[in-house]
Amino acid sequence: MPSFQPQTKINAQPTDALVVFCSDHRFRAGIEEFLNQGLRLNENYDLLVIPGGPQCLTLVEYLPKFSWAGWRWFRFLVEAHDLKQLILVAHQDCGWYKDLPLHLHDSQEPRKRQEQDLRKAQKSLAKEFPDLNIQSYYAEYDAEGRINVEALES
């Protein structure tokens, strides 16, 4: 295929939001629907999509190079795009967590581990970027495959 011309034109609107979520393809369409319709972002957000999503920001001691890269990407986007809101999304059954040693968290229960990381990331981000509005969410699915996205209680 020599070239392809999408129907969609470039989005010339500035954005003030950055969304960080995991690479897991199973959740992508559901999370995009949540962002566009639930949060009314209308496809107007920067994206940082990496395994484990916002978890990379908590790896200062365990995987410092990952953490360094994560922070570097965050700072770049926040400053270059003058962002005002950060949206962190973790999800049920995240494969990234299966490789992380259990001693990194207070609980062995998967959702509690992820919520601990979301809170930790949110706290560090709030310290680094005090003017940003930071929200954390957890996406889960039921036996029929329906996705539900819940705001993390602080």
Q: Which residues bind Zn ion (CB under 5 A)?
A: 22, 24, 94, 96
Of 24 and 115, the one with the shorter C-beta distance to Zn ion is 24
Least Å distance between CB 138 and Zn ion? 12
Least Å distance between CB 79 and Zn ion? 27
- Euclidean distance between CA atoms 148 and 18, whole angstroms: 21
Of 85 and 110, the one with the shorter C-beta distance to Zn ion is 110
Least Å distance between CB 8 and Zn ion? 27
Of 104 and 126, the one with the shorter C-beta distance to Zn ion is 104
Structure tokens at 19: 């969304």
C-alpha to C-alpha distances, 41 to 8, 86, 88, 109, nearest whole angstrom = 17, 12, 14, 32
Q: Which amino acid appears at position 45 of this protein?
A: Y
Of 9 and 98, the one with the shorter C-beta distance to Zn ion is 98
Output DSSP code: residue 57.
Answer: G
64-80 and 110-128 helices, crossing angle to 10°: 50
- Euclidean distance between CA atoms 118 and 103, whole angstroms: 17
- Euclidean distance between CA atoms 132 and 86, whole angstroms: 7
Least Å distance between CB 63 and Zn ion? 16
Least Å distance between CB 56 and Zn ion? 12
Of 15 and 122, the one with the shorter C-beta distance to Zn ion is 122
